[in-house]
Structure 1
Amino acid sequence: VLGLARRNLALLSLDGIEKRIRELENDIRKYNKESHKEALKSALTLKGILEEKDYSFSVECFQADALADRLPGIDVDLIMTDLPYGNLTTWSGAYDNDDNSLGFFLDNMLDLLKPTSILTIISEKSQKIEHKGYNRIKHFTTGKRRISFLEKRMCPP
């Protein structure tokens, strides 16, 4: 999991995105799939953004059970997660058989977020992300996925 996170975060550097562009160009030559062509278009767009701006930030990747009662005592600026969906992935841990795993997850993330932090959730298009502790800033769909941007509600109802 952490290796995948590092690989994805590498896409936020020019070297990383250029490497991914080369991989996608090779995949297009080999397989000529529409999904590779769409991914290449997105990668080129991201490369253009990276070339326009001087991005400098530090990232710490760590693995933790998001449904555990206690998470590391840290404050984070951004949490980005792709929720389990389909037949190949499921919630695991203390609440793996519970219908409210998303609720437990959202409860636990509240303690990690600063007032200015953003929680980004990628989920099935049909899944609505709602919780009394968050304001939804924005959401959009792409393909079969919904991307929701949430902020910590300062005065929960």
Structure 2
Amino acid sequence: MVYRYAPRRDDSDLASGRVLRSAPGTPGFPVRLASEIFQRATALRNSEGPVTLWDPCCGSGYLLTVLGLLHPERFHTIVATDVDEHALSLARANLALLTPQGLQERRQTLDELATAYGKPTHHEAVQAADRLLRQVGAIPAPAVRIGQADAFSPHQLTTSLQQVLPDLVITDVPYGQLTHWNTVTAPYAPSIPNLARSLATVVPPTTVVAITCRARRVPLEGLPTVSSFKVGHRSVVFLRAGDLPDHGTAGETV
């Protein structure tokens, strides 16, 4: 795969566990790939202006936070939902880094760790936070919404979205190694096709949905796609909500 939009650059300041928080069971995501997916999805949407982005399997919020730091001027609202409240607590902390106050508080914590333990990694993290602080603040931070919802339950998703209508959906689905599907109340059985169907019931028909997983291809059981690509161990597919079966009526209020 040839990167169309995301040039190669040093993104080490955004590494999971440096300034952005991490925890067991909440993996990160390749920064350059995240940017490429977002920019391809934006191009498919084919409209100007800031967008509302939603990750319905947000985990630690790493992917959303990275995109918010890389492209702050391109967002109106960022929405993070997940069924796991523990993961959401981490997502709240990470997404707070999109504001100068949240990033300054994180920088202070890292500085205290560097003073207490003197490890080179702590000092490097402080320096990374300083560089990110120089980026954050020049552009107003996007609105952030965080809610608990099972991605396979349209009712829970609708409640968590609180009438927000996403322009883009980008999510890295659980792949059975570090993360697993966790659902107990949803009408859909856990699978990528059912995830797409569930999402299609709660977003406008023009919403572009990008799903990525660790596999040779994203298994969609014949659902219509707009485009796809593969890089390394990850495959990515783009869909348009209005093309999917079970598309709801969310778009009628746009």
Task: Quickly name the TM-score band, shorter chain normalised.
Answer: 0.5 to 0.7
* 1:67 to 2:152 alignment: yes
* 1:55 to 2:55 alignment: no
Q: Residue 108 of structure 1 aligns with which residue?
A: 198
Equivalence map 1:7-156=2 (5 Å): 7-27=93-113, 30=117, 31-33=119-121, 37=124, 41=128, 43-44=129-130, 46-57=132-143, 59-68=144-153, 70-73=155-158, 74-77=163-166, 79=169, 81-85=171-175, 87-93=177-183, 101-115=191-205, 117=207, 119=209, 123-124=213-214, 126=215, 128-129=217-218, 132=223, 135=226, 150=238, 152-155=240-243
Q: State the Cα deviation string for residues 45-98 of structure 1 (Å, max 9, x = none).
A: 5433322212352x3322111123644434432545443245442112259xxx
More helix by share: 2
Report the alpha carbon displacement of residue 15 of structure 1 after superposing the two structures with TM. 0.7
Normalised by the size of structure 1, how large is the TM-score? 0.59
Letter of the 1:76 partner, please give it: L
* Secondary structure at 1:106 match in 2: helix
* Secondary structure at 2:147 match in 1: coil
Whether the 8 Å CA contact 2:208–2:241 is kept in 1: the answer is: no
Whether the 8 Å CA contact 1:24–1:40 is kept in 2: the answer is: no
Whether the 8 Å CA contact 1:122–1:148 is kept in 2: the answer is: yes
Paired-residue identity, %: 23
> Aligned partners of 2:106, 2:196: CA distance in 1, in Å?
32
More strand by share: 1
Whether the 8 Å CA contact 1:117–1:152 is kept in 2: the answer is: yes
Q: Which runs of 5 or more residues in structure 2 are unaligned?
A: 1-84, 245-254
Q: Which runs of 5 or more residues in structure 1 are unaligned?
A: none
Whether the 8 Å CA contact 1:118–1:151 is kept in 2: the answer is: yes
The size of the alignment, in residue pairs, is: 148
> Aligned partners of 2:205, 2:147: CA distance in 1, in Å?
22
